Structure formats: structure tokens, C-alpha cells
Structure 1
């Protein structure tokens, strides 16, 4: 029986105002990462607020009456540190990495901008143009387009089907007053987690966090209408389009799965995705890229979200191969459903996933990201549960997961081809599933 690896134990705390704190000392490093996670993102936006979470991420760095725009960046980068942020469907997070000795002077800047974002009106208009340009650049990216088409088809009216960046029209309707209301409603201590990793003394780090965040009172809750349930495809939902900057066609297949609440199934689907498309020895990579050469690249992933996951297969190829590659993917899935997998293949897959996880937790910034992400999905205990489930999963369970969640008769497929290609004229096109 294999023993699951363990991360060094984290120190977890909850302040009196509801703020969650996760501390993980790494004695051999001289750097520290502070990562603030807020439990809101695109999922919490009504349609008329589309893009608000991401726009707010930009505006947080514009300071307030006590901190000038860009002062956080100057304070951190002037000490040789780095700062950045990201917005997703389920969360927004802000992080800095600095030398351990600079933490007491650096943390107040980060706390100030995140907790007390001023949303100045003049900066709002300037930054709106920055975000609009980001949207325009994304529209020129074929992979972004293919991904958004897949999400829209898979999730329908659910917020997960909308672009986190928003649209030019939705950005123009947002106001500083609306953003301040959103910030006050979601950036509350009980909706936030502060992660500190690296060369820290846990007691001193906790005292610093409590000093900067403990006095922040809980604000009024912002009530958002519940989102519709994730739809389940009845048959095959197909979305086809072209892109002028594309040379290789894109093929994306997806099956709706479970939310983060069904953690055991979510972990099992991660193993299934690795078996099919993670690395040269995986089934689809070995067959379609290494043996037949039909694809330039192919991979699988199991997306875990709070309100419904998605199992995805994505590939790049010459447009003439689209239909035969889709048919082969489905054939390999049906083969796994019928014949299952052997113990040796499962053992190799769990080694790959375990090592990938451990290698992704080597630096303070990587570790802070892992803690924040898992806390967002339901708690840091999910980390150890994941590592243990990797070891306990059986070949029979993997086969049952494939049978239950990867129907060859009901899935979502998105194809993106080079502009100017007449899909009806391609003889290969006639082999497409009906």
C-alpha cells in the first residue's frame, strides 16, 4: 500500500472578524509571499455587471485618498519584490513576494489597497480604456476564442458561460459607484483568506496580519440572484467558427461534471484526465500525436468549479483531420469504458499526478497559490484529501467514472478553423457525428 505524501502542516487561524489566515513557514528561504484571496469572481456578477470583478482587480491598484495610484507597485518593486493579481470565475486574488525582512513594511501597502480601494473616478475612466484594450487583444487570440465558445455552449445562461473580462458594451455601462458597492459587499473579512508563506515566524506573521486586517469590520452582504443550474447536453451540441489569425484548427470536446462539493468524484476525474491526455505516455497523446501524427498537440483537463465542473479534451491539428480526431477521441473513451485500465497504468498515472503536485509547491509563491485555491474550493484539508484519494482510487472506479461522466452520445464540441476554409467542401467533414 503506497503512502500518500504530505505537505508540511500549515498554521490555520480565523480572526474575530471572520478573516481566514493560512501560514506556512519555509525556514530555508529568505523570501515571503502574501496572497489575499477574495471569494468572488465572474460567477457573482449579474449579466448587467459583466466584467466588474476583473475591472475591480485593476482599480484596486489605483489606491485611495491615502495611497496614490501606483504607490503599491513602487513600494514593492522598489524593494526588489513583485506584485500581481488575477480574476477567475470563483475568486480574485492579489499577491506580493518580497524579502522576508521587508514584510512588515510591505504588508500595509497591500492591505490598504485591497481593503480600502478608493475607485477614483478619473482613474476609473483611464483604466476602463486599459481593460477595453485587453478585451480587444483577447479577441485576436484564437485559443481564447475557442475556450469562450466552449464555455458559452457548455454553460448556457450560467455565469460560467460568460467572459470574465466582460465585453466592450458591458464595460461601458459600469460606474465607479457600482464598483464601490460591489467592493464593499464582497471584500469583507469573512469572504477573504490571507495566505503567508516563506521565511516567516508564524507568531510574528499572524500578529502582522491581525494588525493590518483584524480591524476591518464586516460590511453589508451583497445579495446576488442565484445562477441557473449548469445545463446538461441532450445529444451533441456543436459550435463551429473561423478565425483570421489561425493556422492550425482547434478542437475542444467537453462533458459537464460535478461541482467542487463532490470532491471525491472531482479527484477521480483528475486521474481520468491524466490517463487520457497528460504527457507522452497518456492514451490520446501516444495514439494521436506520437503514433499517427494527426495532431500537433492534445491534452485533457478536469475543471473544478464551485457550481459545476467540465471535463475537456483539446487538440490542435490540420483542419482536414478534425473529424477523424474527434471520432478517435470518442473511440478511445468508449474503449476505456468497456475494457477499463490496468493497475500498472493507474500506478504510473498517480505517480505523475503526485509528482506534478509536489513540484508545483516548491516556492513560497507556488505554495501560497495552492493554499488559496484549495481554501476557495472548500478548505485546505482538500489538499491532503486529494493526495490520499490518488492513492486509494482503483481501476474499477476509474472505469465507472468514465462510464458515468463521458457519454459519447451527449457532449459539447467546439471547432475553430482558419478563415476562408469551406467546411462543407472538405471530404473529411462528411465523417462528422450526427
Structure 2
């Protein structure tokens, strides 16, 4: 195995069938997390199969020819462990956390269902109803709706603009045969990485992974459907909607940026996001929430995906304040573009980001997620590069990024507002409250 240097002392290895393995021992830990990452998610689906990756995530837990539905959960949770999974646009991953002494007994169950998911017909129909209910619950969530409104507006026909959960219409078109074919195409060792973190000897961990995953045969690389380039707004692209369960409006401003292959720019944009909206002393939080009280909450993030990023500022506020808050955000961006930031502000941002990263890597499960995410999107070396780049940026570079990416004449803005009551209903509500 190769030792990954410096801050995060992981060992990396590649099995003969192409499977990537990352092992990070934590001698003082009593638990072990195994996280299996697959390089397929929402963006790899044809439009008519929308939601397939997430639906398959559910079906993996329904066993194989050798395991009945629920046996993985029984084997892990019956020993006090945890099983879970998640699907994104660029990945799907499955993980277990167990006592270190139970790893050898539980890993075979995880490998079996991930590599050889049976996708039984009766379970398929039952689980379809579960996923449809998940879609209905998500639609009732204002924050989910606001996020999807932004992504659809910002990405247009690009797959990143589509919901990972799919739609009721697309879910009803899926069949077990389609899902089995998708599983065979993508769940191959050369498209997967297994991460093991916690109280385990590295050589022992590698031997267990080799035993359970090494016999899986490699195959031809799957072919993704053609993906259009990430769109760039021409002028200000505005979209508004409403939501019955909303009490305060959700305002989001966004600018297309870079994908993970342009890692230096991506790291600088994360620093810029922290300057604007990370913590009480950041510019927008301090001005709009602490000083003026125009927003209930405000924050800034730089989303980095495989094929294109999005710099986003989001606020929760009263509908009457949307226009002035949007104008103030743009004014603060303009001030940053003109005047830049000071060294003290940059140093604060640098400390916050490094500490946030270190705090997010304290447990075996957190570490496994970090390793798997970075390796799946761009390579695990991005972790060390991130920590070094955050230390290297200058105030002038942050100002240049704001000038380059945060155009005041071309951006996306979405507003989700509470559904207005018609006059008759409002009168009835007032009478009922007297």
C-alpha cells in the first residue's frame, strides 16, 4: 500500500480488478466505518430514468440471491452498528459503522448487497411506493423546494438541474430489468472505492477488502448520456414561485463557477464564500442580520460538482424585504470587488475553514465520507491540496475571484414566497382567530 502523506495519514491501494481502497487507521478508535463509493449518480441517468440512482440505493438494501431483504441491517444493527447510504449528482455511497471486532463478520454482507444486488420484483414495487412518499415529503419541505428551484433555474437542461429523487412520472416508468442493467453497468470495481477508517490494522483491513471485493470482475466502462455544458446566464435570470407551507421567503442569488478539475479556483471561491457569509462576523451576516435585522438567516456557499460549480447566497426573510436585501447583497459584492479585503479578514477566514475541515474529520464515519467524496470526484490528493491552497491565497487573489465570477449584470436569482391567501379565506381566518 502507498502512504498518503502529511495531515491525513491514509494508505491507498488498487486491487487487480481496478477497485480503489483507502485505509485510515485510528488506533484509539473502538469502531470501524466502511464506506463504498460508486461513481454514478443523478447526472449519469438518461432523462427518462430520472431518479434511478436513488431508487437503486434503496433496492441495494433488499438483498441478493444469497441474502434476504433486511439481512444486511440485521447483521449490522443487530450488533449495535449503523447502516446508511446517500445519492448525489456525481456519486452513490453505502456505509456501515460497527465495533472493530465485528468488521470481519459484517463486511461480507455489505459487499454482497452492493456488488450483487438482487432487485427482486416484489420488493421493487413496495420500495417504489416508499420513494414516491419520499418525493411527496420533499415537495412539502420549503427549503428543498427553494433549492430545486435554484438548481433548475441555474442549470437548465444540464443534469444538475434535475432532482436526484426523480419525479413521480419518472419513477413509474422504471422497471426491475432497467435497474438491474444499470447496476451491472455502473457497480463495477473500476468505478468504485472502498474506504475503511477506524480501529483497524491497515494490512488486515486491506486483506478483508480483497477477500470480499477482489473477486468481482472488471468490465467495459459504462457510457453516460451526452451532457450539455453548464449554462451561463445572459443578464439577470429571475424566477419566482410560492409554497403553501412557507412562512418566510427564501431568496437565492447564484453565479456559475468551476468544476472540481479547476481546484485552485474552487478553493479560492470557498474562501470568498466564507468572507461573505460564514459566521456572525462575515460581511453579509453582520450587516443584514446582526445590524439591520432584515433577514432571519443568511449564508453563502460555493458548490463544487464534477462538471461545474455554483456560487450561492441564500437568505430567509420577510417577502417585503426581498428587493432591498438583494440590492444590499449586490452592493456588498461591488464593495469587495472595488476595495478588496484586508489581511486580518483573510486570516480569520483561513482559520475558520481549516478548523471546520479538521472538526469534520474527527470520527471514523466523517473521515470515510471525506476520503470517499474527494476520491470519487477528483482524487484524494485534493484534500492536502485544499489545506495548502487555503494557506496560500492573498487578499488580491480573493478580490480577483470576486471580480471574475460575481458579475453584477449576469446572475441567477430565485425567490420562493409564501402562498398568498385569497381575501375570502383571509377573512375567515381572521374571524376564526378572534
- What TM-score does the superposition give when structure 1 sets the normalisation length? 0.95
Q: Structure 1 residue 385: deviation in Å?
A: 0.2
Match of 1:283 in 2: 283
Displacement of 1:356: 0.3
Q: SS at the partner of 2:111?
A: helix
Q: Distance in 2 between matches of 1:371 and 1:226?
A: 28
What CA distance in whole angstroms lies between the structure 1 residues aligned with 2:411 and 2:8? Answer: 40
8 A contact 1:277–1:300 mirrored in 2: yes
2:102 is the alignment partner of 1:134: no
1:24 aligned counterpart, secondary structure: strand
1:294 alignment counterpart: 294
Separation (CA, whole Å) in 1 of partners of 2:122 and 2:309: 39
Residue 364 of structure 1 is matched in structure 2 by 364
Number of the residue aligned with 2:321? 321
Aligned mates of 2:11, 2:284 — CA distance in 1: 41
Q: CA deviation at 1:329?
A: 0.4
What does residue range 105-254 of structure 1 map to in structure 2 within 5 Å? 105-254=105-254
Local SS of the residue matching 2:276: helix
Please list every run of at least 4 consecutive aligned residues from structure 1 whose deviation after the TM superposition is greater than 6 angstroms: none
**Structure 1 partner of 2:395:** 395
Partner of 1:432: none
Distance in structure 2 (CA, Å) of the matches to 1:253 and 1:370:
27
Summarize the Cα distance change of 1:421–1:339 in structure 2 as closer, same or farther, 3 Å threshold.
farther
Alpha-carbon distance in 2 for matches of 1:378, 1:220: 21
Aligned residues: 418
CA–CA separation in structure 2 for the residues paired with 1:367 and 1:32: 11
Q: CA deviation at 1:6?
A: 4.7
Shift of 1:221: 3.2
Report the 3-state secondary structure (helix = DSSP H, G, I; strand = E; otherwise coil) of the residue aligned with 1:172.
helix
CA distance in 2, matches of 1:379, 1:386: 12
In the aligned structure 2, how far is the partner of 1:253 from the partner of 1:150?
A: 8
Match of 2:272 in 1: 272
Paired position in structure 1 for 2:430: none
Deviations 1:259-287 (A, max 9, x none): 10000000000000000000001000000
Spell out the pairing of 1:80-99 with structure 2 (5 A cutoff).
80-99=80-99
C-alpha separation in 2, matches of 1:358 and 1:7: 10
Contact 2:45 2:225 (C-alpha < 8 Å) held by counterparts: no
- TM superposition shift of 1:9: 1.4
SS in 2 for 1:252: strand
Partner-residue secondary structure (3-state), 1:307: coil
Matched, 1:335 2:335: yes
Deviations 1:374-427 (A, max 9, x none): 1012111100000000010000000000000000100001101110179xxxxx
Could you tell me how far apart the structure 2 residues matched to 1:152 and 1:388 are? 34
Matched-pair contact (CA < 8 Å) for 1:184–1:219: no
TM-score by length of 2: 0.95
User: Structure 2 CA distance, aligned partners of 1:191 and 1:411?
Assistant: 35
Aligned to 1:9: 9
SS at match of 1:234: coil
Deviation by residue 1:158-204 (Cα, 9 ceiling, x = unmatched): 10000000000000000000000100000110100000000000000
Shift of 1:224: 2.3
1:35 Cα deviation (Å)?
0.2
User: CA–CA distance in 2 between the matches of 1:349 and 1:179?
Assistant: 45
- Which residue number in structure 2 is paired with residue 64 of structure 1? 64
Given that residues 36 and 195 in structure 2 are in contact (C-alpha distance below 8 angstroms), is that contact kept between their aligned partners in structure 1? yes
Task: Please give the root-mean-square deviation of Cα atoms over the aligned residues, in Å.
Answer: 1.0
CA distance in 1, matches of 2:395, 2:411: 24
Q: Deviations over 1:46-93 (max 9, x none)?
A: 101100000000000000110000110011000000000000000000
Distance 2:97 2:302 in 1: 29
Question: Aligned partners of 2:421, 2:229: CA distance in 1, in Å?
Answer: 36
Secondary structure of residue in 1 paired with 2:166: coil
Gaps in structure 2 of 5+ consecutive residues: 423-434
**Inter-partner Cα distance in structure 2 for 1:396 and 1:278:** 20
- Give the structure 2 partner of residue 349 of structure 1: 349
Checking the alignment, whether the CA contact within 8 Å between 1:39 and 1:92 is kept in structure 2 is yes
CA distance in 2, matches of 1:411, 1:337: 16
Q: In structure 2, what is the Cα distance between the partners aligned to 1:7 and 1:120?
A: 44
Q: Distance in 2 between matches of 1:421 and 1:223?
A: 49
**Could you tell which deviates more after superposition, 338-347 or 220-229?**
220-229
Counterpart mapping for 1:293-312 below 5 A: 293-312=293-312
